[in-house]
Amino acid sequence: MAGTSARTLALFAAIIALFVVVGGLLGDYLFGSFLGGLVVALGFSLVLNVASYFFCDRFVLWTSRAKIVTPAEAPRLAKIVDELAPRFGLVKPRLAIIPTQTPNAFATGRNAEHAVVAATEGILRQLDDRQLRGVLAHELAHIKDRDILLMTFAATLAGAISFAAQMVLFSAIFGGTGNSRGANPIAILIAAITAPIAAMLIQLAISRSRESRADEVGARTIGDPNSLADALEKLEASNKARPMPFGSPASSSLYIVNPFRGGGLSRLFSTHPPTAERIRKLRAMAQDYSYRPSVRSPSFGGSAARATRT
């Protein structure tokens, strides 16, 4: 987990450095002030992303057609979440059901007190209790690590870089050469074109890092990495065969696997690590555990792998 955290910190440092350099250069070009561009770009992006942060759960639930349900309406989902939430030090999140047979799940909400765990009808139908437990542990790990907050921060910086770049492009096209006497217009234009792409790639890399960490935290917390690995094998095949018929691709990073499929360079711009790589890491993690049959559990109606460290 330390390696994943260090990688995330390095990526955040990279996007902050990119913002400072590009925002400063473009601010100098447009306003003759290094700080001017930083303040304007960050302020504009901050307003948009603060609103997104506070209303992200409503937006995602609306676009995914998810319906908030009571434990009585989704007893199987509620039973597993109720059992797992204390293990992650969390209050019980709200539950939602997504009306599609595409098997998937996500967690959203700005903090643990406003969290929602959503599951599709398809994932409840296709996964057994042990596999569903692995998936829900992954989603609770996202809530525990406040990944919505981290990704909002990354989106704020990436948005600020893109906004600053658009400002200089519009200025170059419609408003002349800018205010800075020492700036090279060609170099500034190259930065304006390439910086948003670089920022987006870093933002996507942060998303992939958080997915890897959620895999690891969830699997270690329940002591059964193979439960998630088995689930991911089913989810990857099913989501390729039956992509999500509705919803916003902008929310793809929230789902446990990408439910919106594309071709070409889609892997380069993926919000998730390759599923085969995630499964390989989970299988390797499972080698650190020795398994013995557990006592039959009334909660899950069967034996499950319970891990103890070797």
Instruction: Name, in order, each residue with C-beta under 8 angstroms of 253's C-beta and a sequence gap of 6 or more.
Output: 151, 207, 211, 271, 272
Task: Please list the active-site residues.
Answer: 139
Whose tokens are 């999500």? That residue is: 244
CA distances from 168 to 196, 223, 261 (A): 12, 52, 33
Checking 260-267 for CB contacts under 8 A at 24+ apart, the result is none
Please classify residue 265 by burial: count the beta carbons closer than 10 Å to its beta carbon, then call 0-12 exposed, 13-18 middle and 19+ buried: exposed
d(CA 297, CA 301): 6
Contact (CB, 8 A) for 161 and 41: yes
DSSP 8-state symbol, 274: -
Residue 207 and residue 67: Cα distance in Å, rounded? 26
Per-residue CA distances from 82 to 140, 149, 258 (Å): 11, 24, 26
